[in-house]
Structure 1
Amino acid sequence: MNKTKLHTFLPCDEIPDNCNFLLKKYQRGETFSNVNKETNYLVFCQEGEVHLTSNLFREKMLYSGEIMFLPRMADCQGEIWKETHVVIHTFNNTLCHPENCILRFLYSHAKKRDEDKSGIYCCKLPAHKVIIFFMESISQYLTDGTGDLLLWHLKHKELIRLFSCYYSPEELQAFFHPMIGEVVPFKNLVLSHYMKANDTQELADLCGYGVVTFRRIFKEEFGTSVYQWLLKKRSKHILYRLSFPYISFQEIIEEFNFTSPQQFNRFCKTNLGDSPTNLRKKHQSS
């Protein structure tokens, strides 16, 4: 075969950052989240059912035999409805150019997209039997403790190669849309870092902006002030944590950096309309 033609069908040489494979088991009632918001997640469900919510979609169910893509700006939480086993693959491409990206296949087919559908994000796919076999081998490596970074780099490229062989360009364009359309926009920076910021100054620093410029661009992009947006996000996350009775108030206080139970109580009454205890009772009764 001609060398030039052969090269077109080989995975590119780029090595992804944060490349790892994990085997996770969850019991009914436990929670799932993509803890590291700065990396991409591929989640393959070997068995079980997970109810998911995200800033990218309202509600989704992940069932056995399905694979989900959560890009590095996603804020996703899930509740385990049945005992669940998943293989999680994390990776990140800080530079995503057509000539050296591991998803070169997708870029080479970009012109085949229907322009009216170019913005569609389909977060999950039924796993082809070849992908299932691949994930079973990963599970075995993890169970045996024989996986290492070099192997994960090779397996990452193999997985991308399998995607390009067994799914149509249109399916993959929709599945990986948030990543292939990414030019590290301002919104992505904010969504990647806001969970680590307590105020506007900290978020501006994390995103690499001066606070005055950051406030101006933020207002243009989100249509509200940084303070109000962070307050709304924080309230939403706290209310979500309160919905799980096994998460103690002390854990929530520590997670969201409240200085005392009294401060936490005042925050809930002011921003959520009631005390933490009553909010939890209302959720349980509903």
Structure 2
Amino acid sequence: MLVENIPNIFIPNSKSLPDLLIHDFRMTNDNVKSKVNLQMHMFSFLQIGKKQVHFAETSVAVDKTQSILTTKGNCLWTELLDTENSYYCKLFFFSEKVLKDFLKKHSSFSEEAQQENPFFIIENDDFISAFINSLSAIGNDQLQQNEALTKLKFEEILLYLSGKYGSAFIAFLQSLIKEKDSSFREVVERHVYSNLKVEEIAFLCNMSLSTFKRHFKEEFNASPGRWLMDKRLEKAKILIEQRDVKASDVYLEIGYNNLSNFSTAFKNKFGISPKEVS
């Protein structure tokens, strides 16, 4: 699967990324776990549909009642259509430079960067709706040509959200200009029970599949496919034993997409089917 460099693909003729960029993103087909190299921090003001994002550290899902602010870096995007068979969100990209300018201008924003998640969830309200409508009324072309106006709109939304969410949002903004470093083992262990494939976890680690496999062997002394399968099946056995539940109740929880495949793998490992666990 190709990696989409965003927002570069939205401005194909540009030699460099602007500090601020607004783009209307629409789809008429579901998009499942596409590999994205997000090169700027981004507001995603979701209007129609659902969105899920997998990061190295965690994952998050939002619907049209919410918007999301995400940090730059490698991630996996899933975008699902609404009942109207459409998907629409207004994207607002910004560089660390304009964020630093904003934080310097509003020097009272001095919260410590303790936010650990690579995203911040925003509950849509009347102001958010009015803000999105104002961007649409001005038009993306006009905003791209008028840097001062776009910067004003950027400051407007940050000031509003800082007032709405207080120190939690300010801490998140501060965290966006801090260097983040998750260890290889931490990233892998966070996704042990997800439904991500080995190559998708490798992408979140910013590694090629071959490099990931080599690092994995050095770190865990096993191949990633076998190690992940064993961990997931062992947890499934514990869940079935402790909760007295059926295989159909746990296979999705521990990272399998197919009940039949899970049951076969379970029997191959333990010599008994999930139904025979007492």
* TM score, norm. by length of structure 1: 0.50
Counterparts of residues 173-212 of structure 1 (less than 5 Å): 173-180=170-177, 182=178, 184=179, 187=181
Cα distance, 1:109–1:72 mapped onto 2, change above 3 Å: same
1:155 and 2:150 matched: yes
Contact 2:48 2:81 in 1 (8 A): no
Distance in 1 (alpha carbons) for counterparts of 2:125 and 2:91: 17
Equivalent residue for 1:235? 198
CA displacement at 1:25 relative to structure 2: 1.3
Aligned length in residues: 184
Deviations 1:59-100 (A, max 9, x none): x22111422111123524223152321001112124865xxx
SS in structure 2 opposite 1:22? strand
1:124 to 118, 121, 129: 121
Deviations 1:217-268 (A, max 9, x none): xxxx5469xxxxxxxx99332999xxxxxxxxxxxxxxx899xxxxxxxxxx
The one-letter amino acid of 2:91's match is: I
Distance in 2 (alpha carbons) for counterparts of 1:36 and 1:76: 9
Contact 1:67 1:127 in 2 (8 A): yes
Contact 1:69 1:175 in 2 (8 A): no
Distance in 1 (alpha carbons) for counterparts of 2:34 and 2:108: 32
Distance in 2 (alpha carbons) for counterparts of 1:141 and 1:33: 31
Distance in 2 (alpha carbons) for counterparts of 1:106 and 1:68: 23
Equivalent residue for 1:244? none
Equivalent residue for 2:44? 43
Distance in 2 (alpha carbons) for counterparts of 1:119 and 1:238: 23
Equivalent residue for 1:276? none
**RMSD (Å) for aligned C-alpha atoms:** 4.0
Equivalent residue for 1:52? 53
Equivalent residue for 1:172? 169
CA displacement at 1:132 relative to structure 2: 1.7
Q: Give the percent of matched residue pairs that are identical in Structure 1 and Structure 2.
A: 11
Distance in 2 (alpha carbons) for counterparts of 1:40 and 1:34: 16
Contact 1:42 1:70 in 2 (8 A): yes
CA displacement at 1:152 relative to structure 2: 5.2
Equivalent residue for 2:31? 30
Distance in 1 (alpha carbons) for counterparts of 2:154 and 2:35: 20
The one-letter amino acid of 1:159's match is: F
Gapped regions of structure 2 (runs ≥ 5)? 1-16, 187-195, 211-222, 227-255, 261-278
